[in-house]
Amino acid sequence: MDNYPLLNIFWTMLELFLWILWFFLLFKIITDIFRSDDMGGWGKAGWTIFVILLPFLGVLVYLIARGSSMTQRDVAQAKQADAAFQDYIRKAAGTGGGGGATAASGGHVDDLARLAELKTSGALSDEEYRRAKDKLLA
């Protein structure tokens, strides 16, 4: 242990952390290249070759040139996943997995979900939402 002082351990840990961070960023960029809809096959191939052959320069140029659209694609994918999950919840709630629900109650669940969406979007006031919900549940 005398030949490897504490400062060298710190620098080794820092280098390891930076390499892990670098590979994470590289894989993130490569996945973004392939999920991008606004690029054709040749563009994707060019960016992939550039990022693989000149990794440091390629990643920095990609972040400068397409960094903002990377964020937009991430947000769009998150919204799409959330919408799919919400749709799954609505379908699961409407099927009546407990055995006692009917198709009519599934319709009420969908109608209540639509009312809630209209209220959150601002299309319905609180009073209109309450009246429509009372009418639906009556």
Residue 28 has φ and ψ, to the nearest 5°, of -65, -45
Q: How confident is the model at residue 131 (pLDDT cuts 50, 70, 90)?
A: confident
Residue from 27, 34, 70, 35 nearest 52 by CA:
27
Q: How confident is the model at residue 44 (pLDDT cuts 50, 70, 90)?
A: very high
Q: Per residue in 9-26, pLDDT tens?
A: 899 999 999 999 999 999
Q: Per residue in 77-101, pLDDT tens?
A: 899 999 888 888 878 776 544 444 4
Q: How far is CA 130 from CA 40, 105, 112, in A?
A: 50, 19, 11
Sign of CA dihedral 60, 62, 68, 72: negative
Cα distance between residue 7 and residue 30, in whole Å: 35
Residue from 103, 39, 98 nearest 66 by CA:
39
Q: How confident is the model at residue 30 (pLDDT cuts 50, 70, 90)?
A: very high
pLDDT of residue 4: 72
pTM of the model: 0.55
C-beta separation of 33 from 47 below 8 A: yes
pLDDT of residue 43: 92
